[in-house]
Each structure stands twice: as structure tokens, then as C-alpha cells.
Amino acid sequence: MSQQDAVHLEIEELDALRAEIERRTAAEAPRWNADPEDVQRSVARLLLAITEFLRKLMEKQAIRRMEAGTLTDDEVEKLGLALMRLEETLHEIAARFGLAPEDLNLDLGPLGRLI
């Protein structure tokens, strides 16, 4: 058993790691800067991203309680419908501002990991 070849990485994998390290060490309190050229769209994006963040949090809690059995079938159905409609509405509004669902991923640093 040779420990010398314990890890052999392709060049591209090392580059990916380097980029990852740079990205993470650059982060302090994550910053959100509205684009002064298009403040309306920027602010809309921030508001939608915050709502999307809350939607994901609620979804996670709904699933947790569904799995734990602390919701009745009726509650599961109602919650599911509400979350489904919320997701559709958010994406519709985002589309009107020319925003894709991925644009609503707000990096809240440590808070973001709650999702």
C-alpha cells in the first residue's frame, strides 16, 4: 500500500479547489449591493431573494414535520399547496423582471446554510 499515490488529482480539480478556497476566504459578512444603473430591478431581486430564502426555510420545516408525523394529512396537503403556489408566484414575478430562479439565490453566508 503506497501512501505516495494516496491522492492524484487532475490539474482541473486542483484549479477548482483553488477557486473554491479563494471564494470562501474572501467572504466576511456577505454583501449585497444594489446595481445603481438599475436600482428597481436590483431591489426587486433582493426582495424576491429574501422571500425565496424564507420559502426554502418553510419548505424545509414542512418536510421535517411531515417526516416526523406531527402534521395531519390535511395539514400536509394545505402546506404543500401553499408552498407550491408560493414557488410558482415567486418565479412568475421574477420572470417579469427578467430574473431566472437561480438569480434568487442569495448568499447570506452562514445564514444561507440554514436551507
Which parts of this chain interact with other proteins (CB under 8 A)? 1-4, 6-10, 12-14, 16-18, 20-21, 24-34, 36, 39, 46, 57, 59-67, 70, 73, 76-84, 106, 108-111, 113-115
N-to-C CA span, the chain: 41
Least separation in angstroms between CB 36 and other proteins? 5
Min dist CB 46 to other proteins, Å, is 7
Q: How far is the CB of 105 from other proteins (least distance, A)?
A: 11
Q: Which three cell numbers stand for residue 108?
A: 447570506
- CB nearer other proteins, residue 86 or residue 93: 86
- Alpha-carbon distances, residue 78 vs 61, 82, 91, 93 (angstroms): 14, 6, 20, 22
Nearer to other proteins, 82 or 95 (CB): 82
- Cβ(91)–Cβ(102) under 8 Å? no
Instruction: Spell out a b/e string for 54-86, using b for 16 or more CB atoms within 10 Å of the CB, else e.
Output: ebbeebeebeeeeeeeebeeeeeeebeeebeeb
Q: Which is nearer to other proteins, 25 or 100 (CB)?
A: 25
Least distance between other proteins and beta carbon 73 (Å): 7
| CA distance linking residue 36 with residue 49, whole number of Å | 18
37 or 96, CB closer to other proteins?
37
